[in-house]
């Protein structure tokens, strides 16, 4: 089964790595100059580190890389059964890429968005076949984080939902179905986590380091809110 990923940034590269590791033929496409080269470089480094740590052997590293077509031509997504879009978090730009993709693939191809919080129904709304559009929300770093939120829009067919769920589960991920609402489950919960921490700082109650320390040492979180905001990037 061929899988394509649109956008070779942080998330797209990680998702392509998962799909290739699971044996799929993968097309990783990006339209911006340098993005594809960066993605290939980054993935080579990540896989070399895995070889050094003896998590995989060098043959496996080569196999994974050979499965990925790092492409600057969107036509290369042709023949895919599932396409996962992971470009910039902007509704209009995402809608445009879905329109472009539909001109290339056949009507059975599922087209998913990795959006963190945009409306899947609004993306599906511009498509010829909205029933094949769905949200598939991975977390960063995608190859490591087990959870994937699956978000059917009102237009999404039950076949699209079932097939997507079965692919994601076969990749060893833990999937949860979430309603098509802003932030879905995790980011909805995460907003007050960041927001309250910023407010605590703003009111002069504690500094960044102390708030991070408290959440980790007392609250049992793996990362403090400011550490996490820095890691993800406030733009994202
Ligand atoms: P990123 O900036 O690292 O990568 C985005 C990539 O998309 C870039 O390489 C860019 O060149 C490419 N791109 C932009 N517009 C394009 C277009 N029109 N056609 C083709 N390629 C295009 O971003 P990211 O962090 O990987 O996020 C991608 C998506 O995943 C966003 O919707 C984001 O909300 C979501 N997401 C991000 C995270 C995270 O923690 N970074 C987690 C979950 C979901």
Active site residue 149: yes
The predicted-structure confidence for 90-114, as pLDDT tens digits, reads as follows 999 999 999 999 999 999 999 999 9
In angstroms, what is the span from residue 39 Cα to ligand 1's centroid?
Answer: 12
In angstroms, what is the span from residue 86 Cα to ligand 1's centroid?
Answer: 5
In angstroms, what is the span from residue 107 Cα to ligand 1's centroid?
Answer: 25
* 45/53 Cα distance (integer angstroms): 12
pTM confidence score: 0.95
Q: Which of 10, 138, 182 is the pocket-test mutation for ligand 1 (most atoms within 8 Å of CB)?
A: 10
Mean pLDDT of 110-139: 97
* 182/190 Cα distance (integer angstroms): 12
**What distance lies between CA 220 and its chain's CA centroid?**
26
β-pairing, 174-177 vs 147-152, is parallel
Q: What is the DSSP letter of 71?
A: E
* 104/78 Cα distance (integer angstroms): 6
What interhelical angle do 35-52 and 10-21 show, nearest 10?
Answer: 50
Going by alpha carbons, the residue nearest to atom 31 of ligand 1 is 89
Active site residue 69: no
The predicted-structure confidence for 30-79, as pLDDT tens digits, reads as follows 999 899 999 999 999 999 999 999 999 999 999 999 999 999 999 999 99
In angstroms, what is the span from residue 224 Cα to ligand 1's centroid?
Answer: 24
Cβ of 229 below 6 Å from ligand 1: no
* 178/117 Cα distance (integer angstroms): 11
Active site residue 187: yes
Q: Which of 113, 114, 149, 197 is catalytic?
A: 149
pLDDT for 233 equals 85
């Amino acid at each position: 089964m061929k899988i394509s990923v649109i956008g070779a940034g942080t998330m797209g590269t990680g998702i392509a790595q998962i799909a290739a590791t699971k044996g799929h033929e993968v097309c990783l496409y990006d339209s911006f100059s340098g993005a594809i080269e960066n993605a290939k470089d980054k993935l080579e480094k990540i896989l070399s580190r895995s070889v050094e740590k003896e998590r995989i052997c060098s043959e496996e590293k080569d196999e994974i890389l050979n499965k990925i077509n790092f492409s600057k031509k969107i036509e290369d997504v042709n023949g895919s059964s599932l396409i996962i879009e992971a470009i910039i978090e902007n509704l209009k730009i995402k809608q445009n890429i879905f329109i472009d993709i539909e001109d290339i693939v056949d009507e059975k191809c599922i087209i998913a968005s990795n959006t963190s919080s945009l409306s899947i129904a609004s993306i599906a709304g511009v498509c010829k076949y909205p029933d094949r559009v769905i949200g598939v929300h991975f977390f960063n770093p995608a190859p490591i984080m087990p959870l994937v939120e699956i978000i059917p829009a009102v237009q999404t067919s039950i076949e699209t939902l079932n097939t997507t769920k079965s692919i994601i589960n076969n990749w060893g991920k833990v999937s949860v179905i979430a309603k098509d609402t802003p932030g879905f489950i995790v980011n909805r919960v995460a907003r007050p986590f960041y927001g309250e921490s910023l407010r605590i700082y703003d009111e002069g109650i504690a500094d960044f380091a102390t708030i991070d320390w408290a959440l980790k040492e007392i609250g049992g979180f793996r990362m403090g809110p400011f550490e996490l905001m820095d890691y993800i990037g406030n733009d994202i």
